Amino acid sequence: MANIKVVDMAGKEVGEIELSDKIYGIEEINRAVLHASVRAYLLNQRQGTQSALTRSEVSGGGKKPWRQKGTGRARQGSTRSPQWTHGGVVFAPKPREYRVTINRKTRRAALYNALSSKLKANEIICVDSITTESYRTRTMVDMLKAVGAGKKSLVVLEGGDDMVVKSFANIPGVKTVRANMLNVYDVLNCNTFVMTKAASAVIEEVYGK
C-alpha cells in the first residue's frame, strides 16, 4: 500500500495514511477506459434541445420570386431557400438524445485509473480536516495555499458541510464534491486532488468493494 502524509490546514504534517492498492495502485494506466468514461460524462451533460427550421418549416416562400427565364438573374424557386435572408437552415439541428451508458465495471476501472494517475503524479493532498467557523473565502484560500494546492483543485469532502462548501464557492478553479459522488472527469480535470482524511475513508468504503 502507498502511504501519503496528512497535513493540517496550516500545511503542517500531522501524520500519514495508507491508500488502497486496489484504488490507487494501478501500475499501467488504461487510457481507453478513461476516454470512455470522460466521453460518456460530457455527452450526458448535453441537453440536446437545439433546434432550427429547415426550408420546409419556415413560413412563407410559397410564391416563386420571379419567372424562370428572361430576367438575367439566377433562377429561384422560393424566398425561403437557405441562401436567402430569412430562409431555412441547411441540415438544421434538431432535438436529439446524446446520452450514452457504460457498464459499472468500466466506470469503476476508470475511477481507479484516474486516482492512480493522480497519485503517480504526486497530485493528491490529504488534509486532516477542513473546518471553518464562518462563511469566509479567505480561510479556504489560505488553506489551499498552505497545503500547496494548485489553482485548479478538486476538494473532496466526507459530507456536505454547507459552511465549508460555500466558503470554497467563490474561489476560481476550485470545485467541491462529496466523496461518494466522485466522477472521472472532475478527477482528471483538476491539477490537485485535495481530500480530507475522513473523505479518504469514504472513498475506500464506497469504491473499494
Partners of 5 in the β-ladder: 16
pLDDT at 2 (0 to 100)? 83
CA 41 to each of CA 36, 38, 74, 197: distance values in angstroms, whole numbers, following the listed order: 9, 5, 49, 27
pLDDT at 78 (0 to 100)? 95
- For residues 179 and 158, the answer to whether their CB atoms sit within 8 Å is yes
pLDDT at 150 (0 to 100)? 83
2-43+103-207 folds as: Ribosomal Protein L4; Chain: A; (3.40.1370)
Strands 13-19 and 124-127: unpaired
pLDDT at 144 (0 to 100)? 95
Cell of 148: 500547496
Cell of 79: 424566398
Provide the residue-wise pLDDT of the chain in tens; the chain has 209 residues.
688 999 999 999 999 999 999 999 998 999 999 999 999 999 999 999 999 999 999 999 899 999 999 999 999 999 999 999 999 999 999 999 999 999 999 999 999 999 999 999 999 999 999 998 889 999 999 999 999 998 899 999 998 788 999 999 999 999 999 999 999 999 999 999 999 999 999 999 999 87
pLDDT at 151 (0 to 100)? 86
pTM score of the predicted model: 0.84
Task: List the domain boundaries for the chain.
Answer: 2-43+103-207, 47-97
What is the rounded CA–CA span in Å between residue 188 and residue 154? 10
pLDDT at 160 (0 to 100)? 74
